[in-house]
Chain A
């Protein structure tokens, strides 16, 4: 968060790019890098602009963009490389308590369902001639909540009971007591990458606050 020197930001971006490369996510990598480079170039030449307001604007913009691009890159990496069973396994190894682990697992499993439900709902509303444009959200926020959120919530309420009944009927009680199906062991490569990353972060800290 406090890494504000330009060089620091570039290094972090490079690290994130390496991660993405490793995940073979080439198109997003190209897109993100392009945005980053454009903004960085703008920043580097900002003192050539003599309008203070414009300068401040560019500075603020570059700040947000730099941060955003890096986190989007890491987010993309994360989404590509992890699957839900491995997330589960990781949580089981780390002995994360049920109160956090179960909701997280259920939430992950539920995202695609919400997406499907939303599409069905949208089709239905179109047939009933109810518009769902962002404008409607601003003018009639309450009505939007009623037409869009309420049906999904109602269905989810029922689903939560059914899902719980199904899980409990199959003996579900404590997630961290279940048999771990995908044992995760830290391999040599992991140690290497981990150490390297920590080294880089340490160097950056040093540079930043020197």
Chain B
């Protein structure tokens, strides 16, 4: 008799996901934290971290090719947002990963290209959703202080136009690039090491 392999996520898969989610979170905190010490790094925190967490994701979905893997992984990786009182951002991020998950599930986690695409999609939606509340809030913050800062209406509008919104969309766009690079390079690394060693 052959071992029956289930299509649904089971206890052993949850354990595997947990381990890789832990690694992804550690990468996020260490690299995100280090980058956060610099100004550029704080603004570009999401694009930078998704480049480095790619390999944890790619390895996980290569091993556990079942529906729901991306979603759980993405959700857990977004949870630290709750500590930052960014509940809305976390919720938006989860929605983003649900959308991404649909793509991967439709393909039954078969094609490498689709997996890379899913990662890019998920990260981009995460970036858009997770950071939006902060940018909105930041804008509101400035507006509230318009008088104190002696800003004219034009000056305020200019500042918002020059910094806040371009930055937001810029970072989201940058996330597309870095997440793709991260996933692509990770797939090559997986081939070079894990497939070659017979682990995958």
Q: Does chain A touch chain B in the assembled complex, meaning CB atoms less than 8 Å apart?
A: yes
The verdict on A167 contacting B22 (CB below 8 Å), with A52-B151, A74-B83, A104-B76 known, is no
The verdict on A4 contacting B140 (CB below 8 Å), with A145-B185, A173-B11 known, is yes
Do residues A168 and B12 form an inter-chain contact, with CB atoms below 8 A? yes
Is A157 part of the binding interface, using a Cβ–Cβ cutoff of 8 Å? yes
Residues of A contacting B63 with CB < 8 Å? 157
Provide the bound-state CA to CA distance between A159 and B151, in Å.
58
Is B97 part of the binding interface, using a Cβ–Cβ cutoff of 8 Å? no
Do residues A153 and B55 form an inter-chain contact, with CB atoms below 8 A? yes
Do residues B133 and A106 form an inter-chain contact, with CB atoms below 8 A? no
The verdict on A102 contacting B11 (CB below 8 Å), with A47-B150, A63-B138 known, is yes
Residues of A contacting B145 with CB < 8 Å? 59
Do residues B141 and A156 form an inter-chain contact, with CB atoms below 8 A? no
Measured CB to CB, the nearest residue on chain B to A62 is B141
Do residues A56 and B159 form an inter-chain contact, with CB atoms below 8 A? yes
Measured CB to CB, the nearest residue on chain A to B137 is A1
Is A85 part of the binding interface, using a Cβ–Cβ cutoff of 8 Å? no
Residues of A contacting B199 with CB < 8 Å? 154, 157-158
Binds B, one of A19-27, A30-38, A107-115, A181-189: A107-115
Binds A, one of B13-21, B103-111, B115-123: B13-21
25 contacts between A and B (CB under 8 A): A4-B144, A47-B149, A52-B149, A52-B150, A52-B151, A55-B149, A59-B142, A59-B145, A63-B141, A67-B85, A102-B11, A103-B18, A106-B21, A145-B52, A145-B185, A145-B189, A152-B23, A153-B56, A154-B193, A154-B194, A157-B199, A160-B20, A163-B15, A164-B11, A167-B11
Residues of B contacting A59 with CB < 8 Å? 141-142, 145, 149
Residues of A contacting B11 with CB < 8 Å? 98, 102, 164, 167-168, 172-174
Identify which of B9, B15, B22, B27 gathers the most chain A CB atoms within 10 Å of its CB: B15
Is A131 part of the binding interface, using a Cβ–Cβ cutoff of 8 Å? no
Do residues B72 and A153 form an inter-chain contact, with CB atoms below 8 A? no
Which residues 26-77 of A have a CB within 8 angstroms of B?
46-47, 52, 55-56, 59-60, 63-64, 67, 70-71, 74-75
Count B-side interface residues using an 8 Å CB cutoff: 56
The verdict on A71 contacting B84 (CB below 8 Å), with A2-B137, A105-B18, A157-B59 known, is yes
Do residues A111 and B26 form an inter-chain contact, with CB atoms below 8 A? yes
Min CB gap A55→B, angstroms? 5
Do residues B194 and A106 form an inter-chain contact, with CB atoms below 8 A? no
Is A146 part of the binding interface, using a Cβ–Cβ cutoff of 8 Å? yes
Provide the bound-state CA to CA distance between A141 and B76, in Å.
25
Is A139 part of the binding interface, using a Cβ–Cβ cutoff of 8 Å? no
Residues of B contacting A108 with CB < 8 Å? 22
Measured CB to CB, the nearest residue on chain B to A70 is B85
Min CB gap B196→A, angstroms? 11
Measured CB to CB, the nearest residue on chain A to B142 is A59
Residues of B contacting A1 with CB < 8 Å? 85-86, 88, 133-134, 137
Min CB gap B200→A, angstroms? 8
Residues of A contacting B193 with CB < 8 Å? 146, 150, 154
